[in-house]
Structure 1
Amino acid sequence: MQSGKAVWPWVLGVVVIGGAGGWLFRDQLKGLADGVSVPVQSPPASSGAPPQPKATTAPAPAPPPIKHPLDTGAAADPALPKLADSDSAAWGALSQLFRGEGPLTLLLRDHLIQRLVTQVDNLDKPSVPPTALAARPLPGSLQVEPVEGGERIAAANAARYAPYVQAFTALDPAATAAAYKRFYPLIQQAYVDLGRPEGYLNDRLVAVIDHLLDTPELVQSPQVERDERGRYRFVDPTLQSRSIGQKALLRMDAAQARAVKQQLQAIRSAIARG
């Protein structure tokens, strides 16, 4: 359990930009592609043998059916920039939703949609590579207190998350869903560009929200210990084996986690069917 990972950015990403993953930057992909030489196949030598028939290939499997289609027609914005030029517009929309830039100070502003899309796709995985993070770490470090036989997360640790949880739970779910739908063409493009050509981003976002809503509610603050690299991890292996997103919720206090889950449920209702 890495104490420095920010809880706030993935919550923000789940709600506003949901996502998928693969590569962070299309310009990085271009750099990789530019460094690869493509072999040119020489024409086959002529021979007297008759040409062999080409082997038939099996048809590609049909893409999975969309479970949670969005009605983006009414929200379509013909003035949307291209994805590569969307940072300013996306930042402006987030600032308007949160009524200022204060809650957004941890976010990395470049390639904003691509970063958030990537980070969200990693939330139901056991760990997140540094390249999948869309934000700087939260200030400070995990606060712990001694208990019999070890340490546990202290009640004071909740103060680190308080301003971000407060800003998130103050969001208007309807306005958040409207902004999400407005930018959805760019978000879906980022999803495809990052390696999900047959996927539908909104289905993935709903699945990630459902995964976070399944985070267990603990009776008391969990015990933690340092690993060989000096990072805190949960003592209980069933907690430590959970996804990075669920572990982030488990680091909050009970009231914060309930408030976040309640808001996630409200926004899910605005973007999902059933």
Structure 2
Amino acid sequence: MAEQDNYPDKENSSSAARWIVAVIVIVIIIGGGSWWLLSGSNESEPKQTQSMDMPKQPEEAPAVEPKEPEPTPEPEPEPEPVVSPETSTEEPVEPEPAITLPELNESTPTVLQELDNSGLEIQPLKSSQLIKDAVVIIDNLRNGMLVTDRTVVQRPDGRFSVIEVEGELYIDEQSYQRYDPIVDWFTSLDASALVDNYELFKPLFQEAYGEIGYPDSDFENAVIEAINVLLETPVPESLVRVDDDSVMYTYHDSSLEALPPAQKQLLRMGPENIKRIKAKLRDVKAAFRDN
């Protein structure tokens, strides 16, 4: 039964591999905040002070024995006004508060609006309870598991397919291409900008994380753990051989078949897409660490 989470049923292969963008969704949601701090300054008017010494009047000579009158002293030049240094009293301005967060169950429209306002593409997102679904998926991913009953993004077009080479079955490399659009979307995101705005929706993530049994745990740690699981996925260097078990395909290589379900699913996106995803996840992880 668990194997059905790892490989597509041959009659319904288009329903597989939706989970991989769960980390992508988390990264986008935590970067959805688009608020700025306002700053200003109030400069005081410069004060001027002025001083002037008036010349003293000459004293009159005694009436007796007149003498030559003493010369009237030249008035002292008027001193230049003394101007105090210009002072700037820049008063700190309290930052405007972030948006008022809605109730968790009503948060999806606000999240999507904030993402859209910040210039992030929201078209691939598909969930009526985006934060709740993403939290459940991330919690499973960090344990290497998959969730098949929650849809947070649109399904990829096309079908999983195999090719036969000299009597052996291999994953058809053309089936990897159906994941290109979602990988293009993910890798185009600015990891630092996204993580810098993490705090906006973090209270809702924490609330949702508490609802599934982790009231005292930091959801950010779960995101990092989920990223680490995906980063440990090996990158195939050649065609990936599979075996036909009548209901589903399994990996012929026992080391690949023994991988956690999450990593086995990522393998189906193809070597190039795996490399691109892992490179971006490293950027996101570094941005979390530097935040």
Residues 8 and 216 (structure 1), Cα distance of their counterparts in 2 relative to 1, 3 Å cut = closer
Q: What is the distance in 1 between the residues matched to 2:153 and 2:139? A: 15
Number of paired residues? 215
Residue in structure 2 matched with residue 12 of structure 1 by the alignment: 24
Residues 82 and 7 (structure 1), Cα distance of their counterparts in 2 relative to 1, 3 Å cut = closer
Structure 1 residue 260, shift from structure 2 partner: 0.7
Equivalent residue for 2:261, pick from 223, 226, 244: 244
Structure 1 residue 244, shift from structure 2 partner: 2.9
Partner amino acid for 2:24? Answer: L
- Would you tell me which structure has more helix in proportion to its own residues? 1
Give the TM-score normalised by the residue count of structure 1.
0.69
* Matching of residue 138 in structure 1 with residue 156 in structure 2: yes
* Matching of residue 92 in structure 1 with residue 97 in structure 2: no
Residues 139 and 98 (structure 1), Cα distance of their counterparts in 2 relative to 1, 3 Å cut = farther
Equivalent residue for 2:271, pick from 250, 254, 270: 254
Residues 272 and 76 (structure 1), Cα distance of their counterparts in 2 relative to 1, 3 Å cut = farther
Structure 1 residue 208, shift from structure 2 partner: 1.2
Greater RCO (CA < 8 Å, at least 6 residues apart)? 1
Q: What is the distance in 1 between the residues matched to 2:142 and 2:167? A: 31
Residues 99 and 232 (structure 1), Cα distance of their counterparts in 2 relative to 1, 3 Å cut = same
Structure 1 residue 147, shift from structure 2 partner: 2.3
Residues 18, 154 of structure 2: 8 Å contact kept? yes
Residues 88 and 204 (structure 1), Cα distance of their counterparts in 2 relative to 1, 3 Å cut = same
Give the TM-score normalised by the residue count of structure 2.
0.65
Residue in structure 1 matched with residue 89 of structure 2 by the alignment: none
Residue in structure 1 matched with residue 169 of structure 2 by the alignment: 151
* Matching of residue 119 in structure 1 with residue 137 in structure 2: yes
Residues 2, 233 of structure 1: 8 Å contact kept? yes
Residues 158, 252 of structure 1: 8 Å contact kept? yes
Q: What is the distance in 2 between the residues matched to 1:227 and 1:93? A: 46
Residues 13, 117 of structure 1: 8 Å contact kept? no
Q: Give SS of 1:91's match.
A: helix
Any idea what the Cα deviations from partners look like across 1:165-222, whole Å, max 9, x if unmatched? 0010000112221343211111111101111122111111111111211111221131
- What does 1:67-216 align with in structure 2 at a 5 Å threshold? 77-96=98-117, 99-104=120-125, 107-108=126-127, 110-125=128-143, 127-135=145-153, 137-216=155-234
Structure 1 residue 237, shift from structure 2 partner: 2.7
Residues 75, 181 of structure 1: 8 Å contact kept? no
Q: What is the distance in 1 between the residues matched to 2:201 and 2:173? A: 38
* Matching of residue 2 in structure 1 with residue 19 in structure 2: no
Q: Give SS of 1:122's match.
A: helix
Q: What is the distance in 2 between the residues matched to 1:227 and 1:75? A: 60
Residues 142, 223 of structure 2: 8 Å contact kept? no
* Matching of residue 225 in structure 1 with residue 230 in structure 2: no
Structure 1 residue 261, shift from structure 2 partner: 0.6
Q: What is the distance in 2 between the residues matched to 1:75 and 1:178? A: 17
Q: What is the distance in 1 between the residues matched to 2:219 and 2:132? A: 12
- Which runs of 5 or more structure 1 residues have no equivalent in the other structure? 19-73
Partner amino acid for 2:165? Answer: V
Identity %: 27
Residues 148 and 199 (structure 1), Cα distance of their counterparts in 2 relative to 1, 3 Å cut = farther
Residues 224, 232 of structure 1: 8 Å contact kept? yes
Q: Give SS of 2:141's match.
A: coil
Residues 16, 179 of structure 1: 8 Å contact kept? no
Cα RMSD for the two superposed structures: 2.7
- Which runs of 5 or more structure 2 residues have no equivalent in the other structure? 1-5, 9-15, 31-94
